[in-house]
Each structure stands twice: as C-alpha cells, then as structure tokens.
Amino acid sequence: MRAPGSAVARAAQLLAAAPDVTLLAHVDPDADSLGSALALGIALHRRGAAVRVSFATPERMPETLVPLDVLGLVVPPEQVPAAPPVLVACDAAEPARLGTLADRLAASGVSVMLDHHVTNPGFGDVQVLDPDAEATVVLAYDVLRAMDAPLDADVARCLYAGLVTDTSGFRRAGAAAHHMAAELVAAGVDPEPLVRGLMDTHPYAWLAELGAILQAAVLEPDAAGGLGMVRTCVPLEVTARFRQEEVYSVVDLLRTAAEAEVAVLLRQVGGRTWSVSLRSTGRVDVAAAAALLGGGGHRAAAGFTRDGSAEEVLAALRGALPAGPPEALAS
Ligand SMILES: [Mn+2]
C-alpha cells in the first residue's frame, strides 16, 4: 500500500507555503536520506524558501554525496535552528536516527516525516510513511509532483542517487520506480557517471585491505536455521582509515556467498562498539533480528549497534536469528 495520498498532499501543501524549511537526514547519511533532503531542499530553495539540510554525524558529508549538494545547502548541526518553523525528517526509521538533532522534532513548529522503513513506529505531525516504497526518494518525488515543482537535472540526480542505491541497482524496484527512473533520466540524469561515483569507485589502497577482510570471512552453515550465515569484521583502524563508502560496500560482496542466506558485516566503531549490517535474500527477516537487538531496517537489509567483543555480538545475533527452517517461521 502506498502512503496515503492525503499525507503526500498535506506535506506538499505545507512545504509549498513554507518560507523557511529545515530538512534532516539520518546519522551516517546515505544517498537515499541525503538525496531526499537535497531534492526537496533544492526545489524549495528555487521557489524562494530559506532552506538548510543537515545531519547530526559524522562531521563531514560522505564524499560521494558532495556532488549532489549543488547549492551548498548542507550546514553543520550547530547551524540548525533550535526551533525550526518547518522540519522534514528524511529516511529516519525512528527519531533516534536523527542523533543529536532528534530534539528539533518536538521543538519545531510543524514536522513532516518521509520514510519507508517497515520498523518505523510513526512520528511527526505529517507522516508520509510507506513500507512498500523502494526508497524514501520515491516519497520525496511524490511530494514534489504534488507541489507541481519542476523536475530539473539537479533535483533529478538527488532522487536517482537514492533510488539506484536503495534498490541495489533497480533489482528491487517495481514498475512505478522504473517509470520514475525514466522520468529522472529524461530530466537530465546521466546514470553511468552518477552511479560509478556513488557505488563503484574506491581508492587503490582499498583493494588490498578488501582482500584481507574477505579472506577473514567465515561461513557458519548451521546458523539462521540451517540456511547459513557468512560474516566478517572490519577493525577500528580500517574503519578509521577508509571512507564509509568503502567499508559499507563489504556486505554487498559478502552476500554473494551462495551457501549463506544471511550476510553479516561487523564494523568496529569504538573500542567495544560494533555497528552491524545484515543482509538476506529475503527468506530470513533480518529486520526482525535487528529489532530484537535494538536496531531495525527492512526484511532483506537491516542493522543494529551493540557493545561487547565481536564474539559476544555474534552470539547475540545467532540467538536473534530464527532457529528453525523458514517453513517453521511462517506461523
Ligand atoms: Mn532508504
């Protein structure tokens, strides 16, 4: 089911009339989150609104996403007003995903939430929430169309960036999302250089490090109810040396292991803190496992953060994954 048209219409009406709009991406922003915020931000700025886009952490914008911010709308969190008149949260599955900027939700005059995470409990004054949307940019696109905002190449690139990354290169995109992509290309997106920069470009030094990380991968055939799990760790010194674009890409290689339904990447983000990315082919609901461990996400892609040794975190994860074969899970 698509987000109720009334929510899209209310969001469009509110944003079209707003003289000052603050748009927030989630912490560790990805192309869907920042792409949604920037697409709306660019369109609103061109209509004459005062616009800023921000996220709580990290300090700098992911390098691959910098080219999307053609108007320089991204500001550090300190420059986000304490009580923004209109606040838009993009792709945040819960208020906590806004990090230290989550307090702006309650302080804002009115808040709009755009999201597609199935674990989203619903928050904000206007809730454009649709778990069936392939990406939050699909919802941003709906809002822009409801506003009658012109789809220029800059806006289209932001939307395309979120769509191509959240659907793993359109593999999980339905007919409507493919039609949307066609409109974005017609509006001026050149997919090859955009996607190469977003998904396929790493520093040379990464190749050797990646080799070592993959060599350390372990297959656990009995895990996930016998469907198998493959996992590896990225230690803190590697997380610190490379961009998140490199580190996050590891899980997409892990999940190519045919013998494993579930792929697990443990990124060490502090002495005893691990940020864990989970992927499945869809037979195992990794969002359910992540939710048991304080995280969330989608059926086939989810994550959580947990303290402990890598072995302790893995033990907790094994316990959260289904113990039986998928037939038994249906009940
Ligand atoms: Mn998303």
Q: For the chain, list the domains and their CATH numbers.
A: 5-199 (3.90.1640.10), 204-329 (3.10.310.30)
Residue 317 has pLDDT above 90, yes or no: yes
Render pLDDT for 173-186 as a digit per residue (tens, 0 to 9). Answer: 999 999 999 999 99
Taking every pair of C-alpha atoms in the chain, what is the biggest distance, in angstroms?
Answer: 58
Distance 116 CA to ligand 1 centre (A): 7
Q: At what angle do helices 136-147 and 31-46 cross, to 10 degrees?
A: 10
Alpha-carbon distance of 15 to 196, in angstroms, equals 33
List of residues 6+ apart from 245 with CB closer than 8 A: 62, 63, 64, 201, 202
DSSP, collapsed to helix, strand or coil, labels residue 293 as: coil
Distance 310 CA to ligand 1 centre (A): 27
Distance 222 CA to ligand 1 centre (A): 31
Distance 42 CA to ligand 1 centre (A): 19
- Percent of the chain residues past pLDDT 70, beyond the cut: 97
Distance 293 CA to ligand 1 centre (A): 20
Mean pLDDT for the chain? 95
Distance 43 CA to ligand 1 centre (A): 20
And the tokens for 264? 């697990």
H helix runs in the chain, sequence order? 5-17, 31-46, 103-107, 136-147, 153-166, 175-186, 191-199, 204-215, 236-241, 244-254, 286-292, 310-320, 326-329
Distance 105 CA to ligand 1 centre (A): 20
Neighbours of ion ligand 1 (CB under 5 A): 32, 91, 136, 166
Distance 161 CA to ligand 1 centre (A): 11
pLDDT at 323: 87
Distance 223 CA to ligand 1 centre (A): 27
Residues in the chain: 331
Alpha-carbon distance of 227 to 77, in angstroms, equals 43
Render pLDDT for 115-136 as a digit per residue (tens, 0 to 9). Answer: 999 889 999 999 999 999 999 9
Alpha-carbon distance of 67 to 285, in angstroms, equals 34
Residue 289 has pLDDT above 60, yes or no: yes
Per DSSP, the residues of 192-235 read HHHHHHHHS---HHHHHHHHHHHHT-EEETTTGGGT-EEEEEE-
Residue 49 has pLDDT above 70, yes or no: yes
Of 84-88, 197-201, 217-221, the one with minimum mean pLDDT is 197-201
Alpha-carbon distance of 104 to 111, in angstroms, equals 9
Residue 331 has pLDDT above 50, yes or no: no
